[in-house]
């Protein structure tokens, strides 16, 4: 399986992503590339990458997002794969508006599985397309920032960046 691969230098590090048929299948920071490649190989078998400048316009959208348009990533098409449960979690994550956060417990309730808080956390941690599926908008029930694959400092930066468009509030 061949993917279009692109890199984008952001204020919080290099972002690398893979696109197939106009949909982002993997996106993460450069240090996450080995893990993202393993994810793609498990899902698709042998993978090859062809570097291109702006597949599916994602570099343009990333540039807009980091320039201050907190909603620039919302229209990007994704192909996340995953289990039906993970897909429900990831779809609900995309419904969290920029500048808002939710707790893992609230997210579990929103998908109709209020006792599945740990499973929601696991799905959040398995998100193959960070930023576009905004897992950084999920916080602990006590309001504390909790795990993020890109690191807590990046999570803090992203939330501050998005809240610059309006006050950050817990949904």
**So which residues are the catalytic ones?**
135
CA 85 – CA 92 distance, rounded (Å): 11
Cα-based distances in Å from 100 to 95, 159, 161? 10, 8, 12
Residue the block writes with tokens 């509030």: 169
Residue 100: which H helix or E strand, with range? Answer: strand 100-103
77, 24 Cβ separation under 8 angstroms: yes
């Amino acid at each position: 399986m061949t993917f279009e691969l692109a890199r984008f230098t952001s204020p919080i590090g290099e972002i690398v992503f893979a696109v197939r048929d106009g949909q982002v299948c993997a996106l993460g920071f450069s240090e996450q590339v080995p893990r993202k490649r393993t994810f793609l190989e498990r899902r698709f078998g042998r993978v090859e990458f062809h570097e291109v400048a702006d597949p599916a316009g994602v570099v343009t959208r990333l540039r807009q997002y980091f320039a201050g348009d907190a909603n620039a990533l919302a229209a990007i098409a994704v192909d996340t794969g995953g289990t039906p449960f993970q897909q429900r979690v990831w779809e609900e994550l995309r419904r969290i508006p920029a500048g808002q956060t939710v707790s893992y417990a609230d997210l579990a309730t929103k998908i109709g599985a209020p006792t599945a808080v740990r499973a929601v956390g696991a799905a959040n941690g398995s998100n193959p397309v960070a930023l576009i599926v905004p897992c950084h908008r999920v916080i602990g029930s006590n309001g504390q920032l909790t795990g993020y694959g890109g690191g807590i400092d990046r999570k803090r930066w992203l939330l501050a960046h998005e809240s610059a468009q309006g006050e950050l509030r817990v949904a």
